[in-house]
Amino acid sequence: MPKSDFLRRLARDLLRADPRVPISMSNSSDPYPPEEQRYMLTRRALEMMIPRGFRVLIVTKGALVARDADILSRGNAAVTITITTLDEGLARRLEPGAPPPGSRLRAIEELVEAGVPVGVRLDPVIPFLNDDPKEIEELIDTIASIGVKFVVTSTYKARPDNLKRMKEGFPELAERFDRLYRIEGERIHGYWYLRRELREKLLRPVIDVARKRGLEYATCREGFRGPEWFRAGSCDGTHLIPQRIPPRKVDGKLL
């Protein structure tokens, strides 16, 4: 269910917010769940933020974001869409309930056509599932051909809860996941990471193809350093946000 009194609270918070600081919608929950079709809270929030000159980054797996291309294209807004595979059967198992990859690609095309900058999050790359170099190349080629300029990527990071779900969803890989993460992996910030050399191997195809296709790329969550692993204006895609509307002022103060 929607949060109680969400729009009134947002209006109050926007009066105190600095419009020069990017607003990410949303890293904790998707701003385009199926309920958005009915409640339109994300759209109404954008209608409040965009005219005031707020800088907005949409982070979503939802194809419904294309519905709001008319608003996003007029303001300081960019979109990053998660696509981890073009295999629709695998996508259903990895992301049950999320729109299929084909729908997200069509959403990207609509956004790009409307003039909205779009990046893709190929995140996470998971061993044995979506790490095939040829399939990664096909994915990068596809998004580059429809106007995506930036790709951010990362390997799967395991915690007890999500690792349990992964093993339940892919029981045939349960022993291998345990070995790679719990036995051979590294414990970093409360997560099990794959060994560094394996993480580099998994992400190398993404970076190599992105570079060949002229895309910007980032792997910030891995902690890798240097232009070999990072060539973009930001880690998350906020550098894609255009400056179309200056921040609105009242009595000399930014709203």
pLDDT per position as a tens digit, 23-58: 999 877 899 999 999 999 999 999 999 999 999 999
Averaged pLDDT for residues 46-72:
97
Average pLDDT, the chain: 94
- In whole angstroms, give the CA distance from residue 210 to residue 228: 11
- In whole angstroms, give the CA distance from residue 157 to residue 181: 9
252 has a pLDDT exceeding 50: no
Each residue's pLDDT tens digit, 85-95: 999 999 999 99
Lowest mean pLDDT among 107-121, 170-184, 222-236: 222-236
Task: Give residue 38's pLDDT.
Answer: 94
Burial 111-136 (b: 16+ CB within 10 A, else e): bbeeebbbbbbbbbbbbebbbeeeeb
Cβ contact 59:83 at 8 Å:
no
Q: What percent of the chain has pLDDT over 90?
A: 88
